[in-house]
Structure 1
Amino acid sequence: MLTIVIQIDFGLDFSLQFLAFDTEASHDILKVWDGPPENEMSLREVSGSLLPEGIHSTLNLVSIQFETDFYISKSGFAIEFSSSVATACRDPGVPMNGSRNGDGREPGDTVTFQCDPGYELQGEMKITCIQVENRYYWQPSPPVCIAPCGGNLTGSSGFILSPNYPHPYPHSKDCDWLIAVNPDYVLSLAFISFSIEPNYDFLYIYDGPDSNSPLIGSFQDSKLPERIESSSNTMHLAFRSDGSVSYTGFHLEYKAKLRESCFDPGNVMNSTRLGSDYKLGSTVTFYCEAGYVLQGYSTLTCIMGDDGRPGWNRALPSCQAPCGSRSTGSEGTVLSPNFPRNYTTGHSCVYSISVPREFVLFGQFVLFQTSLNDVVDIYDGPTQQSSLLSSLSGSHSGESLPLSTGNQITIKFTTVGPETAKGFHFVYQAVPRTSATQCSSVPEPRFGRRIGNDFAVGSSVTFECSPGYMLHGSSAIRCETVPDALAQWNDTLPTCVVPCGGILTARKGTILSPGYPEPYDNNLNCVWKVSVPEGAGIQIQVVSFATEHNWDSLDFYDGGDNNAPRLGSYSGTTIPQLLNSTSNNLYLNFVSDISVSAAGFHLEYTGKCSHNLYAWASEEVELPCTTLPWCQDLDLPPS
């Protein structure tokens, strides 16, 4: 650290003028003190490439300290100092991004300052010229106008600026703003200017009071986003910058506008929603997922209420898994009561399933978890007096039932307690009847596909799973003759399950939470290691994400293990849409606690090259990140 002390005769006026200034922003800092540093009377603290305004001391001694880090160096600074006999206070100047009211500089005169919209006064709004013997100075020192890093905004309109705007924002900043207006209003946010470092610095905007609210968008780069609106009277903005490159930042304007639409009605568990327009007269309709029954009205309409405010004409419906049902058709789903939450005790639920007469039933338990005292009985016919196909309790996820002999089965679920569990998720299909030379039709595994359509004796079919799933069971089965009996497959049908972790080396792939799209289990500790060729980074795209907030978390590490730098730890529904590693390895760790679970997550990863696209006059060719010996005979353009 360099320290310079300048001292002149007592009673003279002291000023510093900057002739040149260029230091590494936020890292190499020049500090100017009124007197010795131990007096703690700071006059100015500056860095970057903007030429600072002149500095005036109230004492006859000035201390200058210059501190640098061990990375980037710049050309530095040149300062000229002068002294004169004081007869009045010096001109206090006009703060950058602000204005001044008052021109008097005699002892007792006052001037006031205010900042432009979006800026905040650092210092006192009013200062007074003071004379002490031969010294003339402003008390307190003139203020400056800064663009704050975050804050709470409650006015009906206002501006939000990135720190240091219009100059480049500082590195390693975490800035959060909350905008809250009258509950009868919504917020409109317009982008006046926008330029932040792509892939590393982000502005997240949430439709609500905090980062647990729905994410409206994640913004980066220099493309000016379109105007956005909230669905309520609050909006949360979070700006994150990394430790290196910075751009000029952003200038946003918000306005409160009278609400002319209904609030977002939200989602109904175990359903899909059609309709995203909430204006007066608009409708939203809810459709229950397979196995659930709608309770209430499926369609809601936005109307003007008696209080003069927009509102929905009905309460939200719900989708419940019933205790007992009658199902028809070629395929379907049966769920235990309250699924995917635990069932309650004291039930005796009967489910009747029928398919067309020319078919028999193939059934499979996608999930089966009951207390050992709670039993699921499956009967090969329309009543409980039919022959018993199977009787299950405990854990039997992925198991298939023997084919029914007719087109009907009956399921009875009896719960006596005292313990409960998740219950069951049962799917069924109608399949053609078998014969001595023909095996039964083989359905495609859920989350996978069957390869082969010949079910005659001697034929084989194979199976593969969708990305993110792993085959559990045989990858191929063969239709074989059975003496004096019907033809049968030589093995049970496989299932496609989500593994709890794994090692992934393909250039692109899928990562799912265990059980996806069903809720994940409790007490999980899953690790995925992603490794792509050297020279590439890894980009994660978040397709969906929902975990128990604060209790079940997914951590990302920029390397091959959990000792690498952590990119982030996420829970609830808040996560960036894109995450990027700087190396060719990525380590993911998902941990769930002992109680509540949620829908889980769906991630897509891709190995990204820094420079891998070359263009010819007629086509574009994508080349590997590594050396290209097989391209030596091509006339490659400069990379």
Structure 2
Amino acid sequence: MILEQNLIDIRGINPQELKCGSVLSGNEGNFTSPGYPDLYPSNVTCEYIISTSNADRGIRLTFSDFSTELDNDYVEVRDGNSSTAPLLERITGEPDISTLSATSTSSNMYVALVTDSSVRGRGFSAAYASICPNLLTDDKGGFSSPNFPSPYNPDANLCWGISVQPGFAIELEVTSFVTSPEDVMTIYDGASEDSPIITSLSGEVIGDYYSTGNNMYITFISNPANELEGFVVYYKQVCGNRFVDPSGTVSSPGYPSPYPQNANECYFISVTAGKTVQITFTDFVTEPNYDVLRIYDGPTAESPLLASLSGGETGTVVTSTSSKVYMVFTSDADTGGAGFTAEYVEV
């Protein structure tokens, strides 16, 4: 009776008309086609309505097994709670399950298995989970609180995931932030809320925050009252190897072991404003002309080129004219070398 009542509430239909199906709740779960792993029945439309508890999150649907009669028996996945919601996927036959998934934009998803009267298959085994629907994958971008600069919504539970290229990191710039003290943004150093916390923000703040890897996860939770204008945030992909102490050591990947083929590694050094950076290479052996370290007099690869080092360059000293240096080491697919190590110091 609970299932029947849920179906009436969600879709406004008589549950007696359904051949099979179920209403699924909770923030994660699993379900299968009827009879799985044995053959599913003929001439049925089995409807699965997934409704998770967080209205601000989406649903990620994945499959661990899928086999139906090609074209005639299929699964539809829709972005909502009914058969008229926008279609996300139509799946049939025996697709590659390693790439088979669908993601809704809200906390509701509709899944239907439709079969005919002929050949049957074993059907499917699926899993769903509540996820952040806001995944940002460009090298740079931004986001803001809903309605900005008008007040954000009460009882919000929002999230944003940022993922840039492997080997790089993320710089998050909070340019405007006005919330009540009880409404908190939390920035995580990784891809989920299980990652280490970089910082938590509330009240009135601005600032720059950095990940140590190529993923960052941000949540914002508000209480039922005292909504203010909210926030504006920008991000960009930056070098993952960051050095901000007055002195330190910079080395090629894996040093003292030989560096890998097809390397593309960056290094960013930032010392005290008004100082310069002196870099001394205590060891430098690369394949001449092909495996190269380029050193730029500034914070990016668009800054003026200070030096381009390749081959045997042990003992070389390079000094910047500013407090920031950006370096890029690239290698080709052929013979490598021991690589390099260098000591830097502000002067």
Task: Name the structure, 1 or 2, with higher relative contact order (CA <8 Å, separation 6+).
Answer: 2
TM-score strictly above 0.5: no
In which range does the TM-score fall when normalised by the shorter chain?
A: 0.3 to 0.5
If the length of structure 1 is used for normalisation, what is the TM-score? 0.20
